[in-house]
Amino acid sequence: MTDLTELTAVQLLDGYRKGDFSPVEATRASLERAERIQPEVNAFVRLTGEEARQRARESERRWRRGEPCGRLDGVPATVKDILLMRGHPTLKGSRAVSPEGAWAEDAPSVARMREHGAVFLGKTTTPEYGWKGVTDSPLSGVTRNPHDPSRTAGGSSGGAGAAVSLGAGPLALGTDGGGSVRIPASFCGIFGLKPTYGRVPLYPASAFGTLAHVGPMTRDAADAALLLDVIGVPDARDWSALGPPPGSYTEALSGGVAGLRVAYSPSLGGQVAVRPQVATAVRRAVERLAELGAYVTEADPDFAEPVDAFHTLWFSGAARVTQHLGPHQRELLDPGLREVCAAGARYSALDYLAAVDVRMELGRRMGRFHESYDLLVTPTLPVTAFEAGAEVPKGSGHRRWTGWTPFTYPFNLTQQPAATVPVGRDGDGLPIGMQLVAARHRDDLVLRTAHALYGAGVPGPVTGVRPGGS
């Protein structure tokens, strides 16, 4: 018998079309899986089972009539608890956010998925306000890695990454302000895409400004392209959203990589110490790109680590998002977040503008870089998943999460599309990710290249362990 929790969204839709199984069956299987993994992995803030079952029944009736309402009709999906979802509180991992209120509005990406018939299983966990690269919060506790529950799932979209990896819905919405889609996707062994800034509208606007992207977290690149086709359209509530996409990302998948100019940067010019097993897995995947016809050159983008500028922008955003809180509410915050907010409140307007200058120069350099190369390839992270409940790996000497994410946050500064593809596992069975980066607006190249790698069998198994004997 087919295990419906192992299928991609594309495969589920094909099965619905053929009558092999139904949205009700797929939703039931996904909810059962979500309930089974929750005690050990803690991927969800809340499950919305009854609502999901009702939407699945409605979808099943449409499929029986041969009249699906959209491109995702009946596909189980999850939403990170940073994004608004109508009828349910969005608490952002914080005890300082009141659940009271009407909660009557969907975020743009959620609204588009709803219009296309997606079945929402629930809201996934996040660190408080999405502030760090791992997922634990005073509100919902620690989210654990699906491949080893003693390790972190990464963050800040850690619940989404764990849910997809363990079969609790093939589609997930995450957010990424410094790697928050790519980090957990890499640690959990799935595909994650940070689209070009503005391709997926965001409302309400993020306190982290134009660093924050909304992106798909999926079982493969084809599912991500399908989801981006749905959510990557304008919404009047986001003044910075891009216009209509140039074409279908799904249709662009088939181009292959032959002739693409690929720059492979194993350590950003020696700036990053990468664990040997990570470096080896990424190099093998790069060699596979060359075998598929890409022109691969070992080359580094010309920039120094922009961490100070990123901290100025990121910490200032954190200070802004918590500015309205009173003393009692501040005591409820994650202690690390309180430190970051205090640092952010000390920056001046001139400090902020100096960081913007660094950002603009970095964007200029990457724009020139992509005149010579279609894609930049790096490890997604220099490490694999470390102990759960810690912001940084033990003994690393890092103070903040940005110390172990040097490959991800620079491309939030530049607003480029960037994705992570699973390319193997380390000696402990933990996933390793490879990052693909393209020039702004070339999301199609990132997806096309990832799809070619999946077709060539490069990614390792997507699924993690099955907590509870599942």
Q: Mind listing the pLDDT tens digit for each residue in 228-251? A: 999 999 999 999 999 999 999 999
Bridge partners for 418 per DSSP: 194, 437
Distance CA 121, CA 30 (A): 8
Distance CA 317, CA 461 (A): 37
| Side chain identity, residue 17 | R
Residues in the chain: 470
Residue 55: its pLDDT value, please?
98
The residue from 30, 94, 156, 316 that is catalytic is 156
| Nearest of 365, 384, 385 to residue 373 by alpha carbon | 365
Contact 52, 95 (CB under 8 A): no
| Nearest of 369, 183, 191, 144 to residue 265 by alpha carbon | 369
Annotated catalytic residue 132: no
The residue from 22, 59, 180, 206 that is catalytic is 180
Whichever domain contains 52, its CATH number is 3.90.1300.10
Residue 46: its pLDDT value, please?
97
| Side chain identity, residue 263 | A
Positive or negative: CA dihedral 35, 39, 43, 44: positive
Residue 348: its pLDDT value, please?
98
Residue 469: its pLDDT value, please?
41
SS3 content of the chain, % helix, strand, coil (to 5): 40, 15, 45
Contact 158, 130 (CB under 8 A): no
Q: Which residue has the tokens 């190099």?
A: 283
What's the number of domains the chain is made of? 1
Q: Where are the alpha helices (DSSP H) in 347-465?
A: 349-372, 410-413, 443-455
Radius of gyration of the chain (CA): 20
Distance CA 276, CA 354 (A): 36
Distance CA 351, CA 353 (A): 6
Positive or negative: CA dihedral 143, 148, 153, 158: negative
Q: Which range marks the domain in which residue 128 is found? A: 4-469
The residue from 22, 30, 59, 80 that is catalytic is 80
Distance CA 234, CA 44 (A): 29
Distance CA 261, CA 242 (A): 26
DSSP symbol at 116: T
Please enumerate in sequence order all residues whose Cβ is within 8 A of that of 98, keeping only pairs 6 or more positions apart, or say none: none
| Nearest of 60, 211, 52, 76 to residue 131 by alpha carbon | 211
Residue 105: its pLDDT value, please?
98
> Which residues of the chain register pLDDT less than 50?
468-470
Beta strands in 248-360 (DSSP E): 261-264, 295-298
Token pair belonging to 462: 């997507």
| Nearest of 55, 6, 2, 53 to residue 33 by alpha carbon | 6
Compute, in degrees rounded to 10, the torsion defined by CA atoms 176, 178, 184, 187.
150
